[in-house]
Structures are given as C-alpha cells and as structure tokens.
Amino acid sequence: MAKIIQSTDVIYQDKLGLTLDVYRNQEQQNGGALIDLHGGGWFRGDKAKDRDLAMQLAQLGYLVVVPNYRLTPLAYFPEPIADVAAVVEWLRQSKEIFDRQRIGAIGSSAGGNLAIELAIRYGIPAVSWSGIIEIDDWLENHKDVVAAADTKQDFVKTASAKINQSGANDSFYKWFVLNYLKNNVKQAGAASLVHRLSVTTGPLFLANSLNEFVPTAGVLNLQRRLVELGVPTMTKLLAGSEHAKGYLERVMPATQAFLAEFV
C-alpha cells in the first residue's frame, strides 16, 4: 500500500478556530481532492472518526481533507453549512498540490447532507451515504411522533459504522432534525435540500439501505428532481438496515466508480 502522510489540526477558519486533517498519498496522486464530512446528526462526531474512510480515499490517489464543523449547541442550521463552505475556500487557496477544477465531497448521514449542500453551492460532485434529505415533508407527515433523544447509544466512543444500524427510530430522527433547526419547524423548508436543487448542482451519488434509520423517500424525491433538472445522478439502494458507514465496504466500489468519473 502507498504511504499516506497525515497532517492533523490544520486551521481552516481562523476566527472560529476550526480545524481539519489532511491526507496525502506520497506515491500515487490523481490530481483530485475530496472533502470528507463526518456524520453525527449535527450534534456529535469528530474528524478523527473518519480516518478509516480518509485513508481509503487517499489510497486511491485523492488529496483528502476531513474537517470538524460546528455542532449543536454551539451552532445550528445553517451555520454548519457555512463552515463546510469555508473548507472549499480554504482548499482552493491552500498550497496543497491538486487540480483546483477537481474537487468533490463525500459524507455520511449528517455529513451526507452537508456534502449535497456543497454540490448545490459550488456545483461540485458529491457522494451521500444515508444523507439526511427528508426534512420538511417528513416532519409534516410525522406530527404524531414524539421527539426523543437516544440515550442508549454511546455516540462518543462508538465507531461510526456501529451507530444507528438497527433500522428506523422515528423518535430519535425527529429529535435530532428538530435539534438541528433549533426546534424551529419554520426552518424545515429552508433546510430541505430538494427545494434548492438547480441545473448547476453537481453530480450526486446517493446511497441508502432500504430499511434503515434514514428514510429512503428523501433519496427518491431528490433523484426525481435531479432527473427533471438534467443533473447526473447515481443511486444505490441496499437491502437491510445498515446506515451510512455501516455499509461502507458494500458501497465503496460504486462510490469509487462515481468519483473516478466525476472528480
């Protein structure tokens, strides 16, 4: 395997002191750069948890940056979006060696949502594994669900691939979505990705398990709108209840093919 050089805690946003980790392949570089966005429902997670994925992507020859972005209660929608947008600007202005025309994003769960946000804002290709897509429609159709935090899972110590792997948990889903919106349901429409897609949105790869924590309806609705807009999209729906990085190895070949074509 090629040697991967890692630089940790590089500041990309001075005012807020936000940092990222950089992974460089010293032996094989393909000129592309990827922004890897960790999951965690916008309230938990850390860049260190995506070291496994970043190493795999760097082995493919990509320059990979994995940022921390602000989480609740320090920041709420849309502030984390501004943070990951700052990563794109930092990357473009950095001294890192890569093709500035070949930047992509990849993320899982809340990170998948933010990856799509970058595709909308910058027109870059993005990969979303179990991205949180369904917000306003889901909340409208689940008014009877009582929001409740999940106190059974250890979100700090547990590996990302082991979290939310047992299927639907509507109470928790509603809790963390509303938490991201600071419990302001009026923000749900603005936070819903499908309403802000355009012909300039970057190509998207969307993955989801059919019976997992994140509803597949969001993927299907997003794909339908992308087709209407003429935006290239690839969708992979997997059997089972695995969530995001829980199906990493099963979806990695298709992800790699998408990145090879568009980044």
Query: pLDDT confidence of 175, banded at 50, 70, 90?
Result: very high
Mean per-residue pLDDT, 72-87: 98
Rounded distance, CA 134 to CA 168, Å? 14
Q: Is the pTM of this model over 0.95?
A: yes
Give the angle 54-193-101 at the CA atoms, nearest 5°. Answer: 50
Residue found under tokens 């250890």: 154
Strands 18-25 and 63-67: antiparallel
- Domain spans in the chain, listed from the N-terminal domain onward: 4-262
Query: pLDDT confidence of 226, banded at 50, 70, 90?
Result: very high
Residues 208, 120 contacting (CB under 8 angstroms): no
Mean per-residue pLDDT, 209-225: 97
Mean per-residue pLDDT, 16-31: 95
Rounded distance, CA 161 to CA 164, Å? 8
Residue found under tokens 């003429």: 230
Rounded distance, CA 124 to CA 103, Å? 6
Mean per-residue pLDDT, 65-76: 98
User: What is the pLDDT at residue 110?
Assistant: 98
User: What is the pLDDT at residue 234?
Assistant: 98
Query: pLDDT confidence of 176, banded at 50, 70, 90?
Result: very high
Mean per-residue pLDDT, 30-53: 97
User: What is the pLDDT at residue 174?
Assistant: 98
Tens-digit pLDDT profile for residues 148-171: 998 888 887 788 888 899 999 999
What fold, for 4-262? Rossmann fold (3.40.50)
